[in-house]
Structure 1
């Protein structure tokens, strides 16, 4: 009757009797109050805090006056941090929390983000900030005009993306910072001349969905070709030839580097494409100097992060490893399209520009064109020997340059030739340094032949190419 009244079993009664003291009272309910386990949990949580705090942080150089957010080095990410945390505890034989808890603590208990590299600050804007109030009054109109061009250039790109159809293509291109090879942590690497490798990147931003956009990387090194307007024009030509066959209107954005993007070699290449393909117009719009952040930078950042990750496990020796690095750097979506350029892929756009015509400075109104001021350039199939340009994003009408002005050459004389009859040489002292790294076995024997095959000259090291924006 007792068991039926309280709906209990024999086991319940025996358990109560076992836990009763001499006075017949049972102890306090201990469910959910296991002290030892609580201590273990506290120690695990503390290990997460200690691990996250072990990474050095920096203030934001760009917005430290407006936020207290701190930043971790850009090569890191949460997955990499957890992997380091897991490996560290496994090596010590200690327990560790699951990944989701580690990420939750990072996101909710810390005001930290990952640093993303940015372009240099605008010289004009920084100079204006340092002026006295009186000097600012004098240059206020000039500064407003500069800021207006910045806003208009960004708005122009957004409008182009909105209006883009299946017959159009919009792309941004840029040359990444030089890869120097071999690259690793051996101290001797820092004291030797290295081989320069280049990555020219084209970001196709025609698709409105970011996930569907594609990136194209054109790789070469100084033993294959130099780095200048002819080489950049050749890479853009490869992109147009291979990926723009069904397009009628092309729009490119880039920075203002005269030696690479804003010169007669690039314009001659555009004219050649207009004349030999079904393209109707090619428009090149230049972002304002100091404010040239673009989608190609995002690709470069992704590649740089992958490079830093790989360098943690070992050196990078030869250009083909850069190619593999670029192909695997994008972790989601379609990988970057990589083309390893050969010496024969580069064309003599300098000679072609001379064949087209030599007038690149005087417009049809007999006004001199100052190319540093040009913001937009357009080439049209119906005007195959003219360059149209604007010096402001506010301008409604283009001005025209007839490049064949006073020229007697006919169109039949225009032939596209190779830029190199043979691959270029590297300097003798650079080759000696690379061979010395092979002799010291800092470069594996499997890669020795690549460096032995590099041609050299007796010249001293040349001055670095100028990348200054105008």
Structure 2
């Protein structure tokens, strides 16, 4: 039987009645009821109820003969005039201090956490907030305007949504970062020459050096031939607007994500052209990025015969 069926069986086989008389010995007793314990015989024997003693009843059910607490809890779970005991309430109790996480999550997303530009491919589920915002500031605003909770409870909700507070603008190349962790495995004297990951990193460094040489070569070419235009392009990290360092109240307003594609010319004429747009205008998929290049060409490079756009990684 499950928990409720066991309780119901005991309820139907133990009769509770008021004590009939109070003797001199029971004058100071706190006992208010008399209990009659019964077992039902098989149907072929009549199926009637037969009274048994309390020790026999407890031992038959596997309880300690000297402890009737399990039986008493069952009988006290509902009034004696009730037909059935109360249902099982285990796991159904709602604590008075249970947090309303929906309200906390809604408050957290008022700060508009977003996927970081440099980690879209490898960490698409990780969200980031500007470095000037802290959990302490967010918690204080929540307590002052919504309800009072502990900072630990608020922090758990932030962690549950996979949100980080990290400055990522100048993060290390992922290939190099992986290699720095990998090279620790060679501290025990293992051979580096046959390590595939070490060879891949050497190739990565070689390509980096070749890229830098080509980058410098383009700078020199731009000085010799004016019909060529050499530039570098890079999609910068997203900008959270409004951004007012030192003004705490600005962090609590509804923020919007702005994107920034920057074109920096090479050579003596150092010019930068920036394409700015926000999420209400468009996103940052392939066609959106291509449109920034197309508008850059039309507005700034009408007289150039040859255009070279490079992206310097690492």
TM-score, normalised via structure 1 length: 0.27
Query: Whose radius of gyration is greater, 1 or 2?
Result: 2
TM-score, normalised via structure 2 length: 0.40
